[in-house]
Amino acid sequence: MTTSTFSRRDLLKSGAAVLVGFTFAGRSAAQMAVGADAALGKPTGINDVDSFLAVHADGSVTVYTGKVDLGTGLRIAIRQMAAEELELPVERVNLVEGDTALTPDQGSTGGSTGLTQGGVQVRRAAATAREAFRNMTPADLASGKHFNMKVDPNAPLKDPKTYKVVSQPVLRPEVPLKATGRHVYVQDFTMAGMLHGRVIHPPVIGAKLMSVDESSIRSIPDVRAVRIESFLGVVAKDEWAAIRAARELKVTWSEGQTLPGSTGLGGYVRNAAVDRDETVINRGNTASAMTGAAKTFAASYYWPNQSHASLGPSCAVADMRDGGLTVWSSAQAPHNLRANMAKVFAVPLAKVRVVYMDGAGCYGGNGNDDVAADAVLLSRAVNAPVRVQWMRQDELGWDPKGPQQLIDLRAGLDAQGNIAAWEAEMWVPMNKPGTRPLLSIDAAGMAQDHGQGAGLMTQNADPPYAAGNVRVVAHHIKDTPLRPSNLRAPGKIANVFAVEAFTDELALAAGVDPVEYRLRGLKDPRAIEVIRRTADMFGWKPRPASAPRPVQGGVQIGYGFAYARYKQAENYVAMAMEVAVERTTGKVSVRRVACAHDCGLIVNPNALRNQVEGLIVQTLSRTLHEEVKFDRARVTSVDWVTYPILRFPDAPAIEVALINRPELPLYGAGEAAAVTVPGALANAIFDAAGARVRTAPFTPERVKTAIVGD
Amino acid sequence: MATYKFQLNGRPSTAESWDPAQPLLYVLRNELGQHGPKFGCGLGQCGACTVLIDGKATRSCLTTVRQAAGKSITTIEALGTPEKPDAVQAAFIAEQASQCGYCTNGMVMTAKSLLAQNPKPTLEQVKQGMAGNLCRCGTHTRILRAVMRASGAAV
Ligand code: FES
Ligand code: FES
């Protein structure tokens, strides 16, 4: 049995229990270490029921999970899943998330695994405990009796027909706190003796720190600079003093040009040195099928570097005193961060605790882990708890990026217009084992992992439609200009963009309506249902051939469609879009979007709808506006002017149909509805203006060029 | 250190600052315990730090403590509580118009100011009125519905 080795005394000693300042009426159901600390010493092993569940005198239950709610609704959904199996009202189930001293390590909250792994594990523990819980006496409850049971993978689950809590649109308990300014984010966390830190990033990626003139900040009160090799930070009593000091400190850095620049990056990627070629799919013989095809097609698609662009820059508080380390962080993977901090700072794992607290949405690995390392370095240097929040230019300039992706597609159609051959070739960053390097640890010249990974980028490059011969090859390139990381639906947005835009070209060549063409190639009834539902909801008008749309007031209106099965194994998503294209400027306005979504069992339809709507808007933003630009030295997209995102006037009307299948397994829904957005949009632009845009973002200049080019 | 006086959420309040150019945002968050307003950019580009000054939505990251002196400042904490939210907050709760919620302060405060000036806006007017507030989670459709709901429009 794994237990946490933190004692209450340890924590009090390290000053960690000072959250008390945050008690107020209507306290958050969110992570709050205060009360939760009473449970220190509880089991946290993944196989013990007691790691997941604790009972209380009033008959309520606390669920412990290592997964975290990044704004997605997981917090309510996991409570619903546990409540259902325990036959409790959801209000009787509390939740503690992502505190490494209290919760089992259920892996990172990414790749839409929050519910499919985290929730399902909690559900299994609750199902295992159901009988024992029912039989507990008031005395058992009052004494907080342990279950002393192993999680039974075969514990019978409730029959979905009897569900009372799961599939209900229960409101998220933290929304009233968020709407009244009372939700406590890691940015709001404060403790006795806490100082404020800021880091100073170099003007050139990888530059060496040559000299620092501390006299330049002498007029700012209670501030000191901390220099460790090329790591530079400031620590002050007052946050504004730290900000001004970081701005005004006179520093000389080495110069250099380490980047290729973002202009024409597609060409750079195509010629980049390759670590290995991976044959992802090889079915039949595409070469001979291509030769025998009636017609062949080829096109290239490019997706740029994009930022997580969290609305609030990353923030962490670290307390490294007395041989222990506690970090308050909104990291996606608190247990991984804990292990990495222990290794990098040479603190015994048992003395390291990471406490998750909500931050601004992160959508993947943003600056959260980096800022945690910044805070630890500074706390260690000044022997006091230190809070570091990145500034806007730190977050946009230095968070690891969703990497660029280049995709070549080729297809051959037979005489009936069916796909006889399909070849996809993509260029993606290679994976390297280990944890992603942290900026400040490298700068400080300390040893750490130099792993690289940006998620499962090679999925969904094959068509979901019947195709005789299919070959997908991934070139894993050695060097990628900016530090890569997972960004929501990694790789799959670009791949589905290419597949769905290309499929539209094939449908047109076959003289078949795009919706009909897709249906012809599908047998799975769930796929067919989302496509039909979307077409009905949208009022799709079949169009066997593309005819130019009339220009009215300089604008052409067009309609586009896309479909995908996420990871070719999970959610079914279909999407239709109406756009207006301004011919002379190339400006695209998305007027309405319809989407049917099937993720199997729905745990909370309201929270799910929020995710689907959010994915549509966020991915429209990524498709229309977002590209991280950089010159030879640094990222130049560093604020909301140089890295614009979608604004309210561009928010379309969205209609979503959720298909619930209570008897089937659930799939996570934090990513899937993103992937159909760029394809549907590109196809609508083509339908409107006869212009194929194959490079994101679809800026007015690009669309205009495509219009003129056609 | 200089002392600055203003009305905060209807009560006389004072704050000390060593720098008259210190943005009000930090004074509110670090001196006066008002954590509703958030730091998003410090550049006036996102709206996360919005408070009402003399009833008007204002970016506290660009308002210095000296400029705020003598004014009446309202933060989101004063509008209502989780148990008794005001009309705008109640509409955000009913519509679940929040994901991570980091933008929510700015959305609620901007909506408050917008509805004070134009109690029955059209959807288009709301979109324009909120154009300076960013939401990265893509909660736009729900936020728009919440503001319309708060105005009494059928949603
Ligand atoms: S923080 Fe003030 S506008 Fe962004
Ligand atoms: S809800 Fe996350 S930024 Fe708006």
Once rounded to an integer, what is the mean pLDDT over residues A194-220? 96
Same domain for B115 and B73, yes or no, is no
Give residue-wise pLDDT tens across range A639-657: 999 999 999 999 999 999 9
Q: Please name every residue paired with A353 in a beta bridge, in sequence order, or none if there are none.
A: A326
Which residue from B59, B75, B133 has its CB within 8 A of the most atoms of ligand 1, so it is best to mutate? Answer: B59
Candidates A501, A576, A467; CA nearest to A531 is A576
Amino acid at position A80, single letter: Q
| B155 found inside a domain | no
Same domain for B52 and B91, yes or no, is no
Predicted local confidence at residue A678, as pLDDT? 98
Range of the domain at B101: 87-150
User: Looking at CA atoms only, how far is residue A40 from chain B in angstroms?
Assistant: 28
User: In a 3-state reduction of DSSP, which class is residue B24?
Assistant: helix
Predicted local confidence at residue A223, as pLDDT? 97
Tokens standing for A465? 């439609």
Candidates A94, A84, A29, A32; CA nearest to A59 is A94
Distance CA A191, CA A379 (A): 13
Give residue-wise pLDDT tens across range A111-141: 777 788 888 899 999 989 999 999 999 999 9
| B141 found inside a domain | yes
- The domain spans of chain A are 8-170, 188-256+308-398, 511-544+552-709
Residue of A180, A219, A593, A611 to mutate, testing the B interface (most B Cβ within 10 Å of its Cβ): A180
Q: Residue B74 maps to which CATH number?
A: 3.10.20.30
From the list A181, A244, A606, which residue is nearest B96 (CB)?
A: A606
pLDDT at position A573 over 80: yes
Percent of chain A with pLDDT over 90: 87
Q: How far is CA A151 from CA A39, A665, B26, in A?
A: 20, 19, 48
Predicted local confidence at residue A545, as pLDDT? 74
Same domain for B59 and B122, yes or no, is no
Give residue-wise pLDDT tens across range A42-69: 888 899 999 999 999 999 999 999 888 8
Q: Could you say which of B78, B107, B129 is where a domain stops? A: B78
Query: Is there a contact between A572 and A597 (Cβ–Cβ < 8 Å)?
Result: yes
Give residue-wise pLDDT tens across range A80-103: 999 999 999 999 999 999 999 999
Tokens standing for A260? 């290729």
For B14-53, b/e burial (b = at least 16 CB within 10 A) is ebebebeebbbbbbbbbbbebbbbbbbbbeebbbbbbbbb
User: In a 3-state reduction of DSSP, which class is residue A509?
Assistant: helix
Same domain for B103 and B132, yes or no, is yes
| B19 found inside a domain | yes
Query: Is there a contact between A616 and A593 (Cβ–Cβ < 8 Å)?
Result: yes
Tokens standing for A693? 């845009």
| B126 found inside a domain | yes
Question: Is residue A35 very low, low, confident or very high in pLDDT (cuts 50, 70, 90)?
Answer: low
pLDDT at position A23 over 80: no
Annotation: CATH topology of A8-170: Aldehyde Oxidoreductase; domain 4 (3.30.365)
Distance between Cα B17 and ligand 1 center (Å): 20
Distance CA A639, CA A16 (A): 34
Write the CATH number of the domain with boundaries A511-544+552-709: 3.30.365.10
Once rounded to an integer, what is the mean pLDDT over residues A411-427? 97
- Tell the burial category of A545 from Cβ atoms under 10 Å away from its Cβ (0-12, 13-18, 19+): exposed
pTM of the model: 0.95
Q: Could you say which of B78, B100, B131 is where a domain stops? A: B78
Question: Is residue A455 very low, low, confident or very high in pLDDT (cuts 50, 70, 90)?
Answer: very high
pLDDT at position B148 over 60: yes
Whether residue A184 lies within 8 A of chain B, CB to CB, comes out as yes
Q: Please name every residue paired with B74 in a beta bridge, in sequence order, or none if there are none.
A: B52
Give residue-wise pLDDT tens across range A237-264: 999 999 999 999 999 999 988 899 999 9
pLDDT at position A31 over 70: no
Report A:598-637 residues touching B (Cβ under 8 A): 606-607, 610-611, 613-621
From the list A180, A615, A654, which residue is nearest B82 (CB)?
A: A180
| B48 found inside a domain | yes
Q: Could you say which of B29, B56, B78 is where a domain stops? A: B78
Same domain for B6 and B63, yes or no, is yes
The 10 Å Cβ neighbour count of residue A252 is 12
CB-facing half-sphere around the CA of B138: CA atoms within 13 A: 25
Distance CA A16, CA A191 (A): 8
Distance CA A193, CA A429 (A): 43
Distance CA A194, CA A185 (A): 16
A262-271, A570-579, A592-601: the lowest-pLDDT one? A262-271
The 10 Å Cβ neighbour count of residue A47 is 16
pLDDT at position A10 over 90: no
Residue nearest to ligand 1 atom 3, measured at CA: B44
Give residue-wise pLDDT tens across range A153-165: 999 999 999 999 9
| B22 found inside a domain | yes
| B144 found inside a domain | yes
pLDDT at position A169 over 60: yes
Same domain for B51 and B118, yes or no, is no
Predicted local confidence at residue A26, as pLDDT? 30
Give residue-wise pLDDT tens across range B32-59: 999 999 999 999 999 999 999 999 999 9
Question: Is residue A621 very low, low, confident or very high in pLDDT (cuts 50, 70, 90)?
Answer: very high
Identify the residue with better confidence: A695 or A709: A695
Residue of B134, B141, B143, B155 to mutate, testing the A interface (most A Cβ within 10 Å of its Cβ): B141
Same domain for B42 and B95, yes or no, is no
pLDDT at position A19 over 80: no
Residue nearest to ligand 2 atom 4, measured at CA: B135
Given the DSSP bridges, would you call strands A324-329 and A315-321 parallel, antiparallel or unpaired?
antiparallel
pLDDT at position B67 over 80: yes
A108-117, A287-296, A370-379, A445-454: the lowest-pLDDT one? A108-117
User: In a 3-state reduction of DSSP, which class is residue A528?
Assistant: helix
Distance between Cα B139 and ligand 2 center (Å): 6
Distance CA A575, CA A530 (A): 9
Q: A176 vs B126: CB contact, 8 Å cut-off?
A: no
Predicted local confidence at residue A21, as pLDDT? 26
For A464-488, b/e burial (b = at least 16 CB within 10 A) is bbebbbbbbbbbbbeebbbbbbbbb
Whether residue B47 lies within 8 A of chain A, CB to CB, comes out as no
pLDDT at position A441 over 90: yes
Q: How many domains does chain B have?
A: 2
Furthest-apart CA atoms within chain A: distance in Å: 79
Tokens standing for B48? 């996360």
Annotation: CATH topology of A188-256+308-398: Aldehyde Oxidoreductase; domain 4 (3.30.365)
DSSP string, A370-423: HHHHHHHHHHHHHTS-EEEE--HHHHHHHSPBBPPEEEEEEEEE-TTS-EEEEE
Question: Is residue A546 very low, low, confident or very high in pLDDT (cuts 50, 70, 90)?
Answer: confident
Once rounded to an integer, what is the mean pLDDT over residues B142-151? 98
Percent of chain B with pLDDT over 90: 98
Percent of chain A with pLDDT over 70: 95
Q: What is the CA radius of gyration of chain B?
A: 15
Same domain for B115 and B61, yes or no, is no
Distance CA B48, CA B135 (A): 9
Q: Report, in this order, helix, strand and coil percent for chain B, each rounded to 5.
A: 35, 15, 45
Contacts with B121 from chain A: Cβ below 8 Å: none
